[in-house]
Amino acid sequence: DGLRCLKLNSVSRVCSAPVEGDDIRLLQWNILSQTLGQHNDGFVRCPEEALTWEHRKYLIVQEILQNQPDVICLQEVDHFKFLQTVLGSQNYAGIFFPKPDSPCLYIEQNNGPDGCAIFYKRDKLQLQGYDTRILEVWRVQSNQVAIAARLRMRSSGREFCVATTHLKARHGALLAKLRNEQGRDLIRFVKQFAGDTPLLLCGDFNAEPVEPIYATILGCDLLRLGSAYADVKLDREEILHPSEDVGEFVAKSMKREPPYTTWKIREEGEECHTIDYVFYTPDRLKIKNCLDFPAGEEIGKNRTPSFQYPSDHFSLVCDFELLPPTENGK
Ligand code: NDP
Ligand code: CA
């Protein structure tokens, strides 16, 4: 059923069966901006031809469509019109919000700014409204953005919200602090938009689980979120620990995160770490399956991007069951 087949046979990343009924399949992916990937990232082990849009565009579309997601959250989108056309033909509708001062625009052969996008399956879901935000750091706008959308299941009328973001990149304590501030603003934005509606909050947070922002998001009393990939193998009783100390809850979740969501080689060396997440409301959503990442030997010694993998990030695919509200209204 669903993605479980893949856990038994993780050689294949293809997921054939769409989810049924009120279940939701979410695909979260930093697809790698065409302009940045080709002209700025310095992926020294990737053949130039593999980085051309002509080569990458089919792989990106294939990766998305073969997983049959209900909701698609993407970062580093600088070919929104193309995706809108292709995904549109497969019954998806989308929202795009560009970064205010995208680094793409400083590169001569650009195709416009990069930004975040949310697509949803039109025959299953109805868009009830959406909002966008330029994330603020100490009340000043940064160059990072977020989108939030409210979606209604056509079959049952039940609603959930989905939000996505791409936080500031690069290493260092100051940047980790900046990401944490962006995370605090993201929480405010998302809480105001979603209220008590079940929430899926995903993106490229550019932060490993040990960074402050991970604890900021999971420890946030307003949202009460869990991390899907960290929780997928647990029983429900283990996930819902209302009495648990927040610090302990975060530390435990951190240890269960996958070993990597991105794996690349630049001039400076190899980077293999977990910086992309799907956070969710465990009170109202049950995480049923998460798609495994390819193993090191499958990825190959030159890592990603490559002729096989169009982005330096892997897609995160999660199946959720939307649960009824509990008696106390939560
Ligand atoms: P970020 O630091 O968030 O990074 C932008 C992009 O660079 C991300 O998509 C990121 O990918 C990628 N990236 C991360 N690490 C590296 C690396 N080691 N080498 C190459 N690329 C990397 O940038 P901002 O959005 O904050 O934008 C930077 C600012 O710089 C902009 O405000 C713009 O004004 C300015 N700028 C000016 C230029 C100029 O004057 N010529 C040129 C470019 C930018 P990921 O998230 O996947 O890690
Ligand atoms: Ca990137």
What's the CA-to-centroid distance between 169 and ligand 1, angstroms? 7
Q: Rounded to the nearest 5°, which phi and psi values hold at 48?
A: -55, -40
pLDDT of 312 reads 98
User: In which region does residue 139 sit, left (phi positive, over 0), alpha (psi from -120 to 50) or beta (all else)?
Assistant: left
Ordered alpha helix ranges (H), the chain: 4-8, 34-39, 53-66, 80-89, 173-194, 212-218, 228-231, 236-239, 246-255, 296-299
Atom of ligand 1 nearest to the CA of 40: 20
Percent of the chain with pLDDT over 70: 93
Ligand 1: atom nearest CA of 175 is: 2
Give pLDDT tens digits for 207-217.
Answer: 999 999 999 99
**Gap from CA of 253 to ligand 2 centroid (Å):** 25
What ipTM is given for this predicted complex? 0.93
Residue 194 phi, psi (nearest 5): -90, -25
CA of 281 from ligand 2 middle (Å) equals: 27
Dist. CA 166 → ligand 2 center (Å): 10
- What percent of the chain is predicted at pLDDT more than 90? 88
Nearest CA to ligand 1 atom 22: 41
Q: What number does the ligand 1 atom closest to the CA of 114 have?
A: 9
**Gap from CA of 298 to ligand 2 centroid (Å):** 21
Is the distance from CB of 172 to CB of 202 less than 8 angstroms? no
> How far, in Å, is the centroid of ligand 2 from the Cα of 24?
27
Query: Would you write out the chain's pLDDT as a tens digit for each of its 330 residues?
Result: 445 344 433 334 555 588 988 899 999 999 999 999 999 999 999 999 999 999 999 999 999 999 999 999 999 999 999 999 999 999 999 999 999 999 999 999 999 999 999 999 999 999 999 999 999 999 999 999 999 999 999 999 999 999 999 999 999 999 999 999 999 999 999 999 999 999 999 999 999 999 999 999 999 999 999 999 999 999 988 887 666 799 999 999 999 999 999 999 999 999 999 999 999 999 999 999 999 999 999 999 999 999 999 999 999 999 999 998 876 544
CA-closest residue to ligand 1 atom 28? 103
pLDDT in the model for residue 227: 98
In this predicted model, what pLDDT tens digit does every residue of 41-74 receive, in sequence order? 999 999 999 999 999 999 999 999 999 999 999 9
Q: Is-contact 38 51, C-beta < 8 A?
A: yes
Per-residue confidence (pLDDT) for residue 6, from 0 to 100: 44
Any residues with Cβ below 6 Å from ligand 1, and which? 30, 36, 40-42, 76, 99, 101, 103, 106, 143, 168-170, 204, 206, 266
Distance 8 CA to ligand 2 centre (A): 31
Residue located nearest, by CA, to atom 45 of ligand 1 = 169
Q: What is the largest CA-CA distance in the chain?
A: 58
Ligand 1 atom at minimal distance to the Cα of residue 166: 46
Q: Determine the atom of ligand 1 nearest the C-alpha atom of 204.
A: 46
Q: What number does CATH give the domain 4-10+22-322? A: 3.60.10.10
Torsions phi, psi for 151 (to 5 deg): -120, 145
pLDDT number for residue 7: 40
Which of 35, 145, 181, 206 has most ligand 1 atoms within 8 Å of CB, for mutation?
Answer: 206
Residues 188, 204, 244: CA angle, nearest 5 degrees: 60
Q: Which atom of ligand 1 is nearest to the CA of 262?
A: 47
Domain definitions of the chain by residue range? 4-10+22-322
